[in-house]
Homo-oligomer: A and B are copies of this chain.
């Protein structure tokens, strides 16, 4: 039985191996992804993001339990930048998820940056597609930090929950970090702390201004994840947002947006691989670096020449 066939029987080992293929990007990766793609589109993909320390992992854990209790099959992807100290993803936060991990309807995976810019967000999207094709109903994608990877990953999610906490200026920081643009739902976690209501009010105020653009107010939920408070409400808001998205032609638009994202990001990434491996392999790149270092030419003329040389004449004759 092939890896793909095993995968379709629901073999978790096959899923894990396919994810390793995606992470390590072997020659088979694109074929595997192509084979899985027709079965994607069934999962509800939920992004969980927000500044460090807001309690994202706890919220994710608790949502897992709630979804599992409702009989849903759950996949969790935790996107952690790599650290030179651990040699990979920092798994500390995930250790307490081990009792969750024995549950047969859950699959948990940490992903780490491997130095390649743009690679992490795309690999995360590909793992989302694999979990989706595997038959997960719910895919929770937790991103650490408040940067570009988070914004990219959010593009690949159906619903994005931004977790804040009642620290001074947290709503302002969220605005600065671009989180406002990607949020579908806000949770003010650690809501037993001073200022939670104030942060929620600030958010509602800001969202009130924003409403004029998107026609309706985004929900703001107060949670205390460690004390299991507010999570049922959060989950019901997540479900409501998803139901709303599926009304009218919103869902068609959203699915097509996802396909567009997959096409463009995949092409850019495969070009980058080709650039490094074939177009400018190490020795040719180094010769150019030496030339420019010696004052001959510059990166901009070189890039122009290289891009001009790419003959893309046949590309427009794509199958109709």
Contact = CB atoms under 8 A, between A and B. Distances in A.
Interface of A: 30-31, 33-34, 37-38, 51-53, 80-85, 90, 92, 113, 117-118, 120-121, 144-152, 167-169, 172-173, 175-178, 180-181, 206, 209-210, 213, 252, 255-256, 259-260, 262-264, 266-272, 274-276, 278-280, 284-285, 287-293, 295, 297-307, 309-312, 314-316, 318-320
A82 B304 contact: no
A259 B37 contact: no
A297 B30 CA distance: 13
B318 A284 contact: yes
Most chain B Cβ neighbours within 10 Å, of A83, A272, A297: A83
Where chain A touches its partner, the secondary structure class is: helix
A84 B213 contact: yes
Contacts of A38: 295, 298
B270 A271 contact: no
A56 to B, nearest CB: 11
B263 A90 contact: no
Given A85-B175, A206-B85, A268-B272, A299 B147 contact: no
